[in-house]
Structure 1
Amino acid sequence: MSSEPLESSNVVGRRMRSRREELGWSQEKVGVLIGIDESSSRARISRYEVGTHEPPIETARRIAKALGVPLAYLYCDEEDVAMLLKELATQSANQRRALMSQWLEGLR
């Protein structure tokens, strides 16, 4: 995996789309999950994904929660760091603490 920043200035949209497609979900489903009316949910999520609009932070927070990723994942422009954030989010708090301890120990 590369640590190169994403080329697009629309990091949030690219991360949203990537995760949504990974889950096999439609734009409409994501929109409805975050509370957007079904009749406009596809169009609104599409605007976020293509970069026409960037979601306000509270909307981005709801999107991240619906997609099962930390908010930081949506804004991370380095692919390997984003993947690490996504993986860390799947761990329990105890597992994260243990991983952090191991990592810190490795720095010494």
Structure 2
Amino acid sequence: MPFTNPIPVRLKEARKKAKLSQKSLGESIGMDESSASPRMNQYEKGKHTPDVQTLKAIADKLGVPLNYFFCEDDSSAELACLIAQLTESERKKLIAALSRE
């Protein structure tokens, strides 16, 4: 089975959930007004992939953790978002609970 880049799907999902247009998202992270929409469209179509710094700015704007964009399935993406909302103490407790055999 061929690998499919998860970034375009996750980007479009998160942008739509945030109710932002491609143009407004691009502009809000510092892209030029004339190129914001086309660049975001290319990212969502998988024609180009944003560099990590750009992807981090997008993640921050959309309120998702950076690793969300790399999740290969929906449940992993949802877990990444939920874990990101936990405090460090809560994360350690979760790790301990999941590590028990």
TM-score (norm 2): 0.86
- Aligned structure 1 segments of 4 or more residues deviating by more than 3 angstroms: none
Helix, strand or coil for the counterpart of 1:59? helix
Residue 83 of structure 2 corresponds to residue 85 of structure 1 = no
Q: 2:36 maps to which residue? A: 41
RMSD between superposed Cα atoms in Å: 1.7
> Which is bigger in relative contact order (C-alpha 8 A, separation at least 6)?
1
Deviation, structure 1 residue 70: 1.4
Deviation, structure 1 residue 21: 0.6
Q: What percentage of aligned pairs have identical amino acids?
A: 33
Q: 1:54 maps to which residue? A: 49
Deviation, structure 1 residue 8: 7.2
Q: 1:15–1:38: structure 2 CA closer, same or farther, 3 Å change rule?
A: same
Aligned length: 100
Deviation string, structure 1 residues 22-63 (Cα, Å, up to 9, x no partner):
111111121112111122111111110011111112111211
Q: 1:33–1:94: structure 2 CA closer, same or farther, 3 Å change rule?
A: farther
Q: 1:9 maps to which residue? A: 4
Q: 2:94 maps to which residue? A: 99
Structure 1 portions without partners, runs of 5+: 1-6
Deviation, structure 1 residue 14: 0.6
Letter aligned with residue 94 of structure 2 = L
